[in-house]
């Protein structure tokens, strides 16, 4: 990623992509004092930009970092990055970190830095895998209780176990990992929320120890508007056998059908298809992508 052409917004200025650097003694690198966002632009319009920016500010505050830019300035900077890179459909990554003034656990006076990058990224998963439903493996790593780390901060410190879990899954031929919580209940995928379908009911874990994703909230609202009953509750790992459909949601993964969790198989069905189409309509202003149209056609 460091050798790409283009431009990145860093601490208030647009600079050439390859010149966006930081010091090796940056506090964010050593002590994970860093937060970030994942956003998507469709046709030049960033979906839920304000909500993402607000969550970034909140995440920083939860890690005792005050951003040196206002919400409006960050929104304008995001659009400036898209314009500088001549991007319409893109993934956007704002990131905030503590600087290198002090290297110790406590660094209250370190400067707070920020950058925003954007690049073309059409699909998080292989399109054929997404069409058939991805396979996910239950990880040995678990989400800790909320007293151990702020779960509603999109913080770098919350992601090492997801990296380890997904590495293990990929080595075993799966496309993603399922993390349980500290109680042994279903929590989330490595970087996405998870939903299950039983008849006209949609079940999803209560986000008490993991991030309540913006895409997750959007899909819940879409499902409720379509007449589905959405139930947020504790879901035991054994219960994964009882559902007919399963899908993931996230800014990067959008809505991705799941074909299997370990040896339990699912068939991407009508509920997943309807929600995929509704989400595509919402974020793309009815410009449904080829993969979404193909998926819906497969459902008949």
pLDDT at 80: 97
Query: What is the model's pLDDT at position 12?
Result: 97
Same-domain check for residues 114 and 224: no
In the numeric block, the tokens 């009911």 are attached to 201
Residues in the chain: 300
pLDDT value of residue 289: 44
**Domain membership flag for residue 148:** yes
The catalytically annotated residue of 135, 154, 267, 286 is 154
Per the DSSP assignment, residues forming a β-bridge with 239 are none
- Cα–Cα distances (Å) from 84 to 36, 53, 205, in that order, read 21, 20, 40
C-alpha 203 chain-centroid distance: 19
Q: How many domains does the chain have?
A: 2
| In a shared domain, residues 247 and 157 | yes
Spacing of C-alpha 299 from chain mean position: 26
Where residue 282 sits, what CATH number does that domain have?
A: 3.20.10.10
pLDDT at 150: 94
Please check whether residue 196 lies inside any domain of the structure. yes
pLDDT in tens, 61-94: 999 999 999 999 999 999 999 999 999 999 999 9
Let me know whether 63 and 155 are in one domain. Answer: no
- Whether 166 is catalytic is no
* Residue at a domain's end among 85, 119, 153: 119
pLDDT of residue 124: 81
What is the structure's pLDDT at 276? 94
**Is there a single domain that holds both residue 191 and residue 165?**
yes
Q: Are residues 31 and 168 in the same domain?
A: no
pLDDT reported for residue 122: 78
Q: According to the model, what pLDDT value does residue 242 have?
A: 95
Does 102 share its domain with 150? no
What is residue 131's predicted lDDT score, i.e. its pLDDT? Answer: 79
Query: What mean pLDDT comes out for the span 2-30?
Result: 96
Report the C-alpha gap between 227 and 269 in whole angstroms. 17
Confidence of residue 192 (pLDDT cuts 50, 70, 90): very high
**pLDDT(293) > 60:** no
Q: Is residue 175 part of a domain?
A: yes
Domain encompassing residue 79: 7-119
**Alpha carbon of 135 to those of 177, 180, 265: distances in Å?**
8, 16, 9
Classify 107 as helix, strand or coil: coil
């Amino acid at each position: 990623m460091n050798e790409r052409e283009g431009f990145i917004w860093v601490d208030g200025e647009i600079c050439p992509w390859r010149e966006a650097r930081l010091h090796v003694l940056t506090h964010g690198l050593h002590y994970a004092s860093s937060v970030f966002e994942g956003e998507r632009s469709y046709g030049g319009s960033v979906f839920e930009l304000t909500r993402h920016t607000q969550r970034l500010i909140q995440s920083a505050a939860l890690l005792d970092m005050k951003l040196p830019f206002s919400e409006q300035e960050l929104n304008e900077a995001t659009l400036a990055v898209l314009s500088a890179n001549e991007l319409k459909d893109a993934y956007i990554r704002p990131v905030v970190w503590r600087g290198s003034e002090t290297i110790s656990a406590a660094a209250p006076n370190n400067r707070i830095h920020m950058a925003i990058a954007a690049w073309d990224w059409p699909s998080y998963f292989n399109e054929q895998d997404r069409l058939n439903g991805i396979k996910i493996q239950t990880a040995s790593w678990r989400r800790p209780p909320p007293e151990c780390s702020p779960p509603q901060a999109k913080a770098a410190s919350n992601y090492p176990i997801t990296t380890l879990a997904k590495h293990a899954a990929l080595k075993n031929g799966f496309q993603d990992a399922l993390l349980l919580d500290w109680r042994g209940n279903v929590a989330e995928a490595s970087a996405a929320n998870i939903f299950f379908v039983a008849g006209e009911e949609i079940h999803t874990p209560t986000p008490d120890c993991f991030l309540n994703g913006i895409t997750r909230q959007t899909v819940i609202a879409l499902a409720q508007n379509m007449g589905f009953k959405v139930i947020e509750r504790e879901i035991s790992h054994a219960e994964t056998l009882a559902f007919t459909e399963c899908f993931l949601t996230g800014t990067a993964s959008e809505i991705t059908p799941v074909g299997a969790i370990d040896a339990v198989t699912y068939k991407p069905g009508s509920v997943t298809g309807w929600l995929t189409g509704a989400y595509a309509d919402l974020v793309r202003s009815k410009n449904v992508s080829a993969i979404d149209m193909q998926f819906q056609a497969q459902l008949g």
